[in-house]
């Protein structure tokens, strides 16, 4: 083996890269950013196609509508969608003072997503590694590092709640729980489907194993499928049913346009269900706009 191709075990110390110092500094930034956020909540499912990101976007809009300071972190690095749904896609990211200023939606929701960093619509996220086998093996570690950078390098400011939209997969919650200093809870999303329930049950178990409080279950697209309803799953799992959101095509259309469905159709059954779910989450987290601090702590 040539000196130019050393493996990590061949290097004494940190090889002059000051890796330890860099990690320590990043951890310090992460703690400072998170100290200004009252509650970090993960939105999970385990099953793809249940509309988890739609639920996340609408919960964020509900919170903002009620006067809370809200952020959304799109943790789906390979299939990011929150920038599009929140109406900030295409915005230029501004770096000031060594931190990224996240773009804000019309309602003031701060958004950070890998979609804001990719060069084009058809550009996929690729992990650099010596071989594709190594990229797959180290994917979990690289995803955790990317999320840690998003959290540490984004100037979130003072937030009442930061919603983390997780990709499908029951293992993703453990990754986020390992990165976030304190996870206030998880919201589980499902549809009326035996297959969905089978996988969502695993996500609930994973949340409990990660010691992440399960705030409750949201059934999305109610009435569209003929399987068992969310109330049954919530009862079996021993968790609250936060809401059953009826299928409304206008909700998907609003997401495609980057508009707030809650604002466009506040009197619709789906909007009322989302608002009720958001109120239940607020109650569980004891979030009240009347007792918020007036100014965020400074973070350099």
Q: Is residue 64 part of a domain?
A: yes
Least reliable range by pLDDT among 121-135, 163-177, 257-271, 280-294:
121-135
Q: Looking at the predicted structure, is the pLDDT value of residue 24 above 70?
A: yes
- pLDDT of 93 reads 87
The domain of 178 spans 39-289
Q: Pick from 162, 184, 150, 191: which is nearest to 52 by CA?
A: 191
Residue 8 domain flag = no
Does 280 reside within a domain? yes
Give pLDDT, residue 18: 57
pLDDT beyond 60 at 8: no
How many domains does the structure of the chain reveal? 1
23 within domain boundaries? no
Q: Which of 46, 79, 73 is nearest to 57 (CA)?
A: 73
Does 1 score more than 50 pLDDT?
Answer: no
**DSSP character for 12?**
S
pLDDT in tens, 110-121: 999 988 987 666
Q: What is the DSSP letter of 8?
A: G
pLDDT of residue 31: 85
Mean model confidence pLDDT for the chain: 84
Kind of pairing between the strands at 70-74 and 110-112: parallel
The pLDDT of residue 102: 95
Residue at 55 is within a domain: yes
As beta bridge partners, residue 188 has: 44, 217
- CA 40-46-48 angle, to 5 degrees, is 110
Main-chain phi, psi angles of 26, to 5 degrees: -65, -40
Overall average pLDDT of the 233-261 stretch = 97
3-state secondary structure of 122: coil
Least confident stretch, 124-133, 178-187, 260-269: 124-133
| Angstrom distance (rounded) from CA 133 to CA 226 | 41
Predicted confidence (pLDDT) per residue in 44-95, tens digit: 998 999 999 999 999 999 999 999 999 999 999 888 999 999 999 989 888 8
**DSSP helix/strand/coil, 1:** coil
The answer as to whether 12 is a domain residue is: no
165 vs 46, 171, 248, CA distance in Å? Answer: 12, 14, 21
Residue 293 has pLDDT above 50, yes or no: no
pTM: 0.84
Asked if residue 25 is part of any domain, the answer here is: no
- What is the per-residue pLDDT across 86-110, written as a single tens digit (0 to 9) for each? 999 989 888 888 889 999 999 999 9
**Higher pLDDT, residue 113 or 10:** 113
Which of 50-54, 78-82, 130-134, 210-214 is modeled with the greatest confidence? 50-54
Judged against a pLDDT cut of 70, whether residue 9 lies above it is answered with no
- 268-296 average pLDDT score: 80
Q: Residue 291 above 80 pLDDT? A: no
- Is residue 84 included in any domain, yes or no? yes
CATH number at residue 166: 3.40.50.300
Distance CA 102, CA 152 (A): 12
Q: What is the pLDDT of residue 140?
A: 53
pLDDT-derived band at 28 (thresholds 50, 70, 90) equals confident
Determine the pLDDT at residue 174.
86
Whole-number pLDDT of residue 108: 97
């Amino acid at each position: 083996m040539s000196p130019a191709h050393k493996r990590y075990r061949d290097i004494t110390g940190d090889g002059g890269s000051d890796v330890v110092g860099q990690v320590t500094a990043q951890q310090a930034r992460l703690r400072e950013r998170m100290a200004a956020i009252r509650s970090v909540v993960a939105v999970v499912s385990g099953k793809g196609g249940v509309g988890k990101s739609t639920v996340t976007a609408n919960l964020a809009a509900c919170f903002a509508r009620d006067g809370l300071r809200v952020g959304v972190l799109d943790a789906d690095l390979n299939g990011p969608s929150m920038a599009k749904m929140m109406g900030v896609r295409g915005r230029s990211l501004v770096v000031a003072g060594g931190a990224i200023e996240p773009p804000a939606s019309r309602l003031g929701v701060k958004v950070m997503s890998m979609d804001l960093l990719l060069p084009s619509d058809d550009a996929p996220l690729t992990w650099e590694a010596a071989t594709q086998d190594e990229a797959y093996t180290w994917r979990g570690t690289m995803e955790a590092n990317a999320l840690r950078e998003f959290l540490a390098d984004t100037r979130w400011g003072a937030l009442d709640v930061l919603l983390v939209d997780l990709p499908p997969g029951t293992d993703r919650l453990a990754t986020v729980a390992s990165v976030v200093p304190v996870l206030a809870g998880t919201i589980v999303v499902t549809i009326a489907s035996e297959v969905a329930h089978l996988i969502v049950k695993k996500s609930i178990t994973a949340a409990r194993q990660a010691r992440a409080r399960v705030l409750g279950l949201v059934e999305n697209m109610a009435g569209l499928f003929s399987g068992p309803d969310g109330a049954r799953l919530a009862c079996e799992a021993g968790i609250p049913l936060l809401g059953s959101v009826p299928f409304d095509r206008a909700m998907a259309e609003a997401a495609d346009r980057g508009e707030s469905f809650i604002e466009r159709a506040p009197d619709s059954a789906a909007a009322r269900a989302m608002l009720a779910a958001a109120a239940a989450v607020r109650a569980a987290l004891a979030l009240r706009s009347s007792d918020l601090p007036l100014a965020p702590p400074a973070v350099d």
